[in-house]
Amino acid sequence: MLYYAVKNLEKCMNCGICEEIVACSSDYVGFVEKCIGCGACSFACPYEAMEMKEREKGKEVSMKVNGEKISVPERITVKKALEIIGYRIGRFPGEGDIFAPCEVGGCYSCAVEIDGKIMPSCVTGVKEGMEVNTELPKEFIPKRALHGWMGHPVGGVGTPWWLKGRRFIEAAVFACGCNYRCPQCQNWTTTYNGKELALTPREAAVKMTATRRKYGVDRMAISGGESTLNREWLVQYLKELKKLNPDEKARFHVDTNASILTPDYIDELVEAGMSDIGPDLKGLRLETFMRITGLKDKELAEKYHRTSWKAVKYVVDEYKDKVFIGVGIPYNRDLISLEEIHDLGSEICKIDSEIQVCVLDYRAEFRRREIRRPSYWEMVKVWRTLRDVGLKTVICQTSFGHIGPNEP
């Protein structure tokens, strides 16, 4: 089926997000005659005002894929054209011919060569006479869109608790594009951002090193969006970063939802230099995980959920002495019960009772504006619940700063 996006003027609040961050190839978002139906605006709109409607096939365009002439409907994405001619599109690495997890032009996992340039197939429209190569050239250097270079005063879930609260503890950057669709996403202007300049691993490493120097810190973090989506890029980025920062004080921190972190991927990251990791476990039960992540495909959600739990166990079993691990878990009573927090804590305890667990107090953000940020005392209850199951290093984010492992 083919689609186009229409702006529902009754829902639109003129926030401008669809113009600012969406990688839209039409002259402006919602210009129906030019829409290629990528769907990026409908993922990004916090008011769900961009609605995808079915459309007729219309005229055809001729183009070449790997030297073969094909005809496909006009005003579709290159990804869609590939799908029409039989390519399978996957949302888990290794499944399908093209891995397209974010679909907003942020991660570049779906990149192919289009008229001599490496571009994301998910947000690039087909054109008459276009030449597409899915086999990337040998000298191909991966790219990734990155946003928000900064000195971070708090760090992420993979930041050791004893460092939190000091002035600038990490240099940080956020990778655009995510495979989750969390309705309360706290970083959604990064997650759905397809307009940022995509950088090679070397370019990003140089910029991160400069950011480290600017803030006078030793820790360098990458978060998101989802930092791990483009594996080749991330591994090369860490290697480049390590080359530029060979001193012993340098720490290389990856914050991640861990949904695609298979053991071989983790091995590769450690080998490349990753010294700290902050995997997020967004629930124990699958229904909770799907509620929090906004994923509708149960089979895919199950795979992401299972992979993230296994990743935590694997890092602890294989790299406890080499890699610092801090696990993130969510709390908001509208999304996860205290009883599930108890059971979730018990499961983490079975892996390692000493592991750092950081509870994030989910607040109203993005599309989930009806929830109320947990009060300080609610977070104290969560803290006690996790301590009672045997976890020794629990920290909780609150509106008054972090509750540390030795309080309250």
Residue closer to ligand FES (CB basis): 192 or 309: 192
In whole angstroms, give the CA distance from residue 88 to residue 67: 19
Contacts of residue 240, Cβ cutoff 8 Å, sequence gap at least 6 = 201, 202, 204, 205, 206
> Minimum Å distance from CB 90 to ligand FES?
10
> Minimum Å distance from CB 72 to ligand FES?
18
> Minimum Å distance from CB 288 to ligand FES?
26
> Minimum Å distance from CB 309 to ligand FES?
24
CB 358 within 8 A of CB 345: no
* Residues in region 71-110 near ligand FES by CB under 6 A: 100-103, 105-110
> Minimum Å distance from CB 202 to ligand FES?
20
Nearest to 276 by CA among 180, 184, 155: 155
Contacts with ligand FES by CB under 6 A: the residue count is 13
**Does the footprint of ligand FES cover residue 326 (CB under 6 A)?**
no
Question: Could you identify the residue written with the tokens 């460092």?
Answer: 163
Nearest to 160 by CA among 379, 354, 382: 354
Tokens of 378: 């609610």
* Residues in region 105-134 near ligand FES by CB under 6 A: 105-110, 120, 122
**Does the footprint of ligand FES cover residue 324 (CB under 6 A)?**
no
In whole angstroms, give the CA distance from residue 62 to residue 127: 8
Residue 202 CA to its chain's centroid (Å): 21
Binding mask 151-190 for ligand FES (x = CB under 6 A): --------------------------x-------------
In whole angstroms, give the CA distance from residue 4 to residue 25: 12
**Does the footprint of ligand FES cover residue 42 (CB under 6 A)?**
no
Residue closer to ligand FES (CB basis): 121 or 211: 121
Tokens of 170: 């990490």
Residue closer to ligand FES (CB basis): 179 or 393: 179
- Give the residues lining the site for ligand FES (CB under 6 A): 100-103, 105-110, 120, 122, 177
